């Protein structure tokens, strides 16, 4: 892994995030299970991603199913160049979701990503976390009330409480070394991350290396076909609850696919419940598609993993 030349930023004190090679000893068995399950999701076998081993192929979207259309396929092809190259050389991937304040959107995305990864057998190989560009001040009584509402909503989605109870954390340039992929929740965050990289690194390989790690989360929303996203049963990409919320909630799947910037819901507003529902549906779509993309990127010819080596 490259060594970051970035300087630490000042500002709000934050807690340290996990940043090590904390791959579980059982990761290989879980990866094999997840890869076999992923093959059943799609008639197209996963393809190796560039970086390990030396292959330049990218995962191909699953376009099978009655819901596929030529227009959907065209949108998918137009976004393919925005999808990053990932390396499974450490037998696990660490993913960071970044929003403005590390209060709602990034945490919710990380929790849904983890649930989908667990469902697909990759819970010990795909590790999510979240951070914000400018974390807020310590919580006051209004923030505590908001946290209570968030905890209630997260509990209904079976997201672990730890995603909403820990203190907010600030994004640092060093996170580009700590994480394999950094996902921006909206275009303003995406632009700010790229500006930070451009300010730190002159044009060249280092800038290119870090820039390709930073992606807009919703660019993955069109990776999978509607048929795969809403499939039910043992070979489903999503648990039944999340599949239902994606298909039948907040205007349906088409409305979620139209989202570019994940909004921050105002839970205190009269339509706060509807805003929450729309954000949840958009995040289910993008995080599930991201999980499938990363699963598909697992190379067929990876060497056997031996934790004793």
C-alpha distance from residue 262 to each of 14, 197, 226, 282 (Å): 24, 22, 20, 7
Would you say residue 174 lies in a domain?
yes
Would you say residue 77 lies in a domain?
no
Would you say residue 76 lies in a domain?
no
Q: What percent of the chain has pLDDT over 90?
A: 41
pLDDT exceeds 90 at position 166: no
Q: Where on the phi/psi map is residue 62: left (φ > 0), alpha (ψ -120 to 50), or beta?
A: beta
CB atoms within 10 A of CB 1: 10
What's the pTM value of the predicted model, to 2 decimals? 0.75
Query: Exposed, middle or buried by CB within 10 Å (0-12, 13-18, 19+), for 286?
Result: buried
Instruction: Print the domain residue range for 144.
Output: 84-297
8 Å CB contact between 158 and 241: yes
pLDDT exceeds 70 at position 109: yes
Would you say residue 25 lies in a domain?
no
8 Å CB contact between 64 and 42: yes
Would you say residue 203 lies in a domain?
yes
Banded pLDDT at 284 (limits 50, 70, 90): very high
**What is the pLDDT, as a whole number, of residue 250?**
64
Residue 168, both tokens: 């907010």
Q: Which residue has the higher pLDDT, 263 or 13?
A: 263
DSSP string, 63-114: --STT--HHHHHHHHHHGGGSPP---TTS-EEEEEEESSSSSHHHHHHHHHH
Q: Residue 108: which CATH number?
A: 3.40.50.2300
**What is the pLDDT, as a whole number, of residue 71?**
53
DSSP string, 171-204: --TTHHHH-SEEEESSHHHHHHHHHHHHHHS-TT
Q: Which residue has the higher pLDDT, 108 or 25?
A: 108
Residue 231, both tokens: 């499939």
Question: How many domains does the chain fold into?
Answer: 1
Would you say residue 139 lies in a domain?
yes
Banded pLDDT at 308 (limits 50, 70, 90): low
Would you say residue 41 lies in a domain?
no
Q: Where on the phi/psi map is residue 9: left (φ > 0), alpha (ψ -120 to 50), or beta?
A: beta
**What is the pLDDT, as a whole number, of residue 218?**
95
8 Å CB contact between 39 and 234: no
Q: Give the neighbor-by-neighbor strand order of the sheet with 214-216.
A: 126-132, 93-99, 181-184, 214-216
8 Å CB contact between 41 and 292: yes
Mean pLDDT of the chain: 76
First to last CA, the chain: 19
Would you say residue 172 lies in a domain?
yes
Number of H helices, E strands in the chain: 12, 4
Banded pLDDT at 270 (limits 50, 70, 90): confident
């Amino acid at each position: 892994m490259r060594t970051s030349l970035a300087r630490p930023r000042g500002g709000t004190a934050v807690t340290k995030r996990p940043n090590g090679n904390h791959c579980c000893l059982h990761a290989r068995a879980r990866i094999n299970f997840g890869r076999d399950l992923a093959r059943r999701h799609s008639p197209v076998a996963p393809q190796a991603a560039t970086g390990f081993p030396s292959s330049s192929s990218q995962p191909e979207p699953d376009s099978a199913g009655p819901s596929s259309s030529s227009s959907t396929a065209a949108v998918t092809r137009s976004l393919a160049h925005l999808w990053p190259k990932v390396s499974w050389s450490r037998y696990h991937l660490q993913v960071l979701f970044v929003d403005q304040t590390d209060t709602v959107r990034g945490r919710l995305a990380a929790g849904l990503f983890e649930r989908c990864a667990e469902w697909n057998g990759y819970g010990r190989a795909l590790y999510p976390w979240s951070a914000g560009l400018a974390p807020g001040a310590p919580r006051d009584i209004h923030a505590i009330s908001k946290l209570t509402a968030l905890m209630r909503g997260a509990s209904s989605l079976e997201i672990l409480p730890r995603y909403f109870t820990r203190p907010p954390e600030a994004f640092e340039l060093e996170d580009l070394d700590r994480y394999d992929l950094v996902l921006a929740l909206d275009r303003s965050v995406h632009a700010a991350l790229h500006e930070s990289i451009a300010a730190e690194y002159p044009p060249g390989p280092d800038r290119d290396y870090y820039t390709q790690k930073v992606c807009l989360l919703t660019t993955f929303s069109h990776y999978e076909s509607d048929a795969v996203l809403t499939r039910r049963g043992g070979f489903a990409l999503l648990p039944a609850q999340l599949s239902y919320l994606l298909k039948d909630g907040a205007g349906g799947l088409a409305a979620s696919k139209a989202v570019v910037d994940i909004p921050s819901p105002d839970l205190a507003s009269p339509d706060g419940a509807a805003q929450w529902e729309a954000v949840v549906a958009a995040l289910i779509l993008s995080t599930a598609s991201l999980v499938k993309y990363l699963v598909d990127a697992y190379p067929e010819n990876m060497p056997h993993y031996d934790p004793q080596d």
